Amino acid sequence: MTRRLPRVLAASAAFALGLLALVPGTAAADPTTSPAAPAADTTDTGTTESGPTLRLESLSPTVAHPGDVLRLSVLVDNPTDTAISGAVLDLGAGWKELTTRSTLDDWVSGVGSRPTTQVTTDVPDLAPGATTVVALELAVDRLSINGNQRAPRSLSVTLRHGHEVRAELRTFLLWDPTTGSGGAPDDDAVDLSILAPVAGPVADETGTGTTDESWLADATAPGGRLAQVLAAVDVAGQSAGARGALSLAVDPALVATASTSPDTRVSAWAHAASRLGDLTDVRPLPAFDPDLAALAHAGTAQDALRDAVSSTLPGGWEVPESWGAPIAWPADAQAPDLATLTAARAAGLATAVLPAGLAPVWGTATGRADVDTPAGSIRALVADPVISQALTRATSPATTASTMPTTTTPTDLTSTSQGSAALAVQRLLAETAVVSAQNADDTTHLLAVLPRDWTPDPDAVSTTLHALATSGWVRLTPVSDLVATTAPTVQRRPLDDSAAQTGELSPQEVNRLTTARTTLRRFASIATDPDDLTTPLTTALAAPLSIASRSQTPQARAAAVTAAVDAVTALEHKLSVAATDATLISARGDLPVIVSNDLDVDVTIRVALRPDNPRLVVQPTDLTTVAAQSQSRVNVPVQALSSGDVEVTVEVLTASGTPVAAPITLQLAVRAGWETVGTAVAAGLVALLLVVGIVRTIRRGRSPRRAVDTDIPDPLLPGGAP
């Protein structure tokens, strides 16, 4: 209550002054000393969402010095059905320094009364639905700002009709008592690194796993998101006058996919993106930007985690050597938990970006922390959420109240002002000025991160970074400098041990994808080049697990998971084995097996038989190469130890012995003694036939019809007499 007392007293004083203004003859004629509007107006909610609004189009100079003239351009919008006539704009500027970040937030959130009005300007009559731009000027010297303290002051513009405030916007007057501008940062300047992710949308949901070619064409066209990122890197270096003013974290799969595009503009973008390391700091994200939180909460094993973050890139593309070491970047929705950082470390990632979380208990600290996890310590790059949000507003095109709210309290009167790049730039300068002043004896290194869907406006990037670089209290540095910084000893708010986030893929679906990925990697080892089999399905398996897929409906993600798993199963079925029941009648023999390969690549496999009975011994076989779209016969040597029926499982294995095709079973009738018995029987039959032949021959020799020597005439005797 003691902290709020000054605000209550100030509001009461302002209310009293407002009442005096209503009494004839009490209002001051000098606009520089005119009283503030009644305090009741600061919380007046008479202006609804359909009421008039104010938008700060420009403010120059962003940092005011002695002798400067502050020039504001304010757009007044009347979306109502009633004309506005006789309204004025009041420009108020405060002399009191805002020295803490909490007072900055209080001011823009509508807490506290408006400063004394310095300038009042008429607003042209506005018909229903009409807009107009009003210029306001204020000589800074009229404020009589004393002291040499460089700090922000409150600055307000109100739309007043009579004594009723219809709309208000709140921003900051940045004051520097030194003359001139655009000098080099002071010794006590705050270091600021800016990191933007470059990731694509979710791949299609059909299971083919390809990034939509039409999306790539649009994104790389002039004005497209990917084209704008390249332009932003270029202007960032020029505006800041230093390399690395805008660092990038790039999904290499996006660049690899673009490099294979037949569209010359898309492939040209990929070529330019691959050379970004020559212009600024570039860190690769894990391929396809996987959702580490979903992997962690599914209890994914370490080997599977490493597979998930090291997917094969399309077209054999490789990460350029000019890019730094890979980093983890959990989803932006909320602070990651310890389980997510543990998964990142277990996957081999030594550095993680935290868009939120690990905030210091007090004050502002350098955005570097070391987090101890069960898998080891991981370097954490801790972003400043307020500065990150302001930077996003300042550098994004068409920043409006509907997309970039200017207050965290929607019921405050500040909700009637539209956010703009000019408003966000002043917030950036105010925040960094306070940090610089608070840490004058110890340089603070801040990190600002941009969202994954950031579509930069290069002109706004140039304006914003130029304002920061020339402020005198900001030094833009590459993110590698922050990575190399020693983590300060700071008490931070701890992360949750484990807390699932909205939009994560369910553990069941994650495990289905993990199993399919492991199966595919094992199966692909039979090919001469495993990438020939894994690459066509890598994206299909990775897409449902990407952070971008959080934007899909649960039904669409489930369908994508099923399609990817089915694609792996279909690939396995293209390798099959066939054999028929048989009878083995010898102690040794070969069992013929037919292996069919319907794949488009040659495979090298080994056929193995696994009998259910030790009476059959199977000899190992050599590796066999089966050509693509063909069959091959493999003869497996077997040995029978005894007779009997044996059930044999026929498997196709990788060189390391892992099954890669659906096994089959066959019945083998083993008749180990039949060959010996058959040989003996055959030999006996032959011997019997021989004996029978001899006997028959002998018996034929004893026939009475057979001639003897005495019956044969002697040819030497006369008349042939015997």
Q: Residue 418: what pLDDT?
A: 56
Interior/surface letters 530-555, b for 16+ CB within 10 angstroms, e for the rest: beebbbbbbbbbbbbbbbbbbebeee
Distance of CA 81 to the CA centre of its chain: 46
- Flag whether the pTM goes above 0.85: no
Nearest to 36 by CA among 11, 8, 17: 17
Structure tokens given for 49: 């969402």
pLDDT band at 477 (very low <50, low <70, confident <90, very high): very high
CA distances to 21, 87, 248, 536, 568 from 25, in Å: 8, 22, 62, 83, 86
45-49, 524-528, 568-572: which has the minimum mean pLDDT? Answer: 45-49
Mean per-residue pLDDT, 696-715: 57
Count of CB atoms within 10 A of residue 284's CB? 20
CA distance 156 to 110: 11
In tens, the pLDDT along 331-367 reads 987 899 999 999 999 999 999 999 999 999 998 999 9
CA distance 288 to 542: 6
Q: Residue 591: what pLDDT?
A: 87
Q: Is 703 helix (H, G, I), strand (E, B) or coil?
A: coil
In tens, the pLDDT along 261-297 reads 999 999 999 999 999 999 999 999 999 999 999 999 9
DSSP letter assigned to residue 290: B
DSSP one-letter string for 523-557: HHTTBSSTHHHHHHHHHHHHGGGBGGGGGS-HHHH
DSSP letter assigned to residue 140: G
Nearest to 216 by CA among 284, 250, 263: 263
Q: Residue 14: what pLDDT?
A: 39
Of the two residues 221 and 645, the one the predictor is more confident about is 221
Q: Is the pLDDT of residue 616 over 90?
A: no
Pair 117, 31: CB distance under 8 Å: yes
In tens, the pLDDT along 516-529 reads 999 999 999 999 99
Q: Is the pLDDT of residue 8 over 80?
A: no
Structure tokens given for 554: 């649960």
Which strands make up the sheet holding 575-578, listed edge to edge? Answer: 575-578, 588-597, 630-640, 616-618
Residue 489 identity (one-letter amino acid): T
378-382, 619-623, 675-679: which has the minimum mean pLDDT? Answer: 675-679
CA distance 152 to 149: 9
CA distance 139 to 32: 11
CA distance 647 to 669: 9
Q: What are phi and psi of 652, to 5 degrees?
A: -110, 125
Count of CB atoms within 10 A of residue 656's CB? 8
Q: Is the pLDDT of residue 41 over 80?
A: no
Q: Is the pLDDT of residue 402 over 60?
A: no
Q: Is the pLDDT of residue 89 over 50?
A: yes
